Structure 1
Amino acid sequence: MLEIERKFLVKSDAFKAEAFRENEIKQGYLNSNPERAVRVRIKDDVGFLTIKGKSDESGTTRFEWEKQISREEAEALLKLSEPGMISKIRYEVKAGAHIYEVDQFFEDNEGLILAEIELQSATEDFEKPNWLGEEVTGDHRYYNSQLSKNPFKLWK
């Protein structure tokens, strides 16, 4: 239940040619508090309820618990969500021994593309594809829970 991940900006759409899977994702937050965010997600036709704890100082590690729920349950919970729905397409891209999840955001976060990689340890080595940009691990602005409240389109 411990999630260790690093997050990066993406500097080109070259990842799309390397993707082996894509999923449409819609998500909202029942609670977007950084101490304990509670997320409801519909990924294609499957629902998920996720609780995430506060990140460590580096932003790489935090508690995560996720449970699959029905699409109907997820749709009902999304109606209770805080304002600021997240809409994105997730591309999965294999690079070396790892898989990057690359999220292309839409609506209020249009223009933002982020890549995340889950690791077994915070010091684990991993391959960095040429489309990978600046690391933003630990920058709270890029957390989905924060993008729901302060969308990318308002940053400029």
Structure 2
Amino acid sequence: MEHLEIERKFLVKSDGFKQKATSQTRIVQGFLNTDPERTVRVRIKGEQGFLTVKGASNESGTTRFEWETEITVAEAANLIDLCEAGILEKVRFEVPLGKHTFEVDDFLGENKGLILAEVELKHEDERFEKPDWLGQEVTGQVQYYNSQLSLKPFKEW
């Protein structure tokens, strides 16, 4: 199936990633639909807007359908006004390591204190280097999905 996203997600145990980051971007995002079978996300990432549809995850939580298209920031801002409660804000750091790039999200607002790292893979059992700041794996743990963090923020755990 085309448009498959394969990624693993981890908690981050230290801020050692910040010195190695090649970029950092502020992200604001909301969800038009948080149904786990088909989430619909609206995102403003820096100076770009995106509309993304994600399907249900497979059993391991590593693979799911993802379709994304770029929209204008104005369109994204208008759609965010229509989103369900629980708008997420975070700063994303891109940290290259070996053949991969980790996307590290340092959450703000209701999810402040939560830092998650994701690495995108070509196949589920692809090997990758693990940096020393990487903590416990949380791949497939639904409470760490952005759609669920918008419904039940980290500060309420």
1:26 alignment partner in structure 2: 28
2:145 alignment partner in structure 1: 143
Structure 1 segments, 4+ long, off by >4 Å, are: none
Matched, 1:14 2:16: yes
**Amino acid in structure 1 at the alignment position of 2:16:** A
How far apart, in 1, do the equivalents of 2:59 and 2:142 lie? 11
Provide TM-score, normalisation by structure 2: 0.98
Correspondent of 1:99 among 76, 98, 101: 101
Correspondent of 1:154 among 147, 153, 156: 156
- Note the residue ranges of structure 2 that are not aligned, 5 or more in a row: none
What is the root-mean-square deviation in Å for CA atoms of aligned residues?
0.3
1:119 alignment partner in structure 2: 121
CA deviation string 1:27-70 (max 9, x = no partner): 00000110000000000111000000000010000000000000
CA deviation string 1:68-125 (max 9, x = no partner): 0000000000000000000000000011100000000000000000000000000000
- Note the residue ranges of structure 1 that are not aligned, 5 or more in a row: none
Q: Secondary structure at the match of 1:53?
A: strand
How far apart, in 2, do the equivalents of 1:70 and 1:94 lie? 28
Provide TM-score, normalisation by structure 1: 0.99
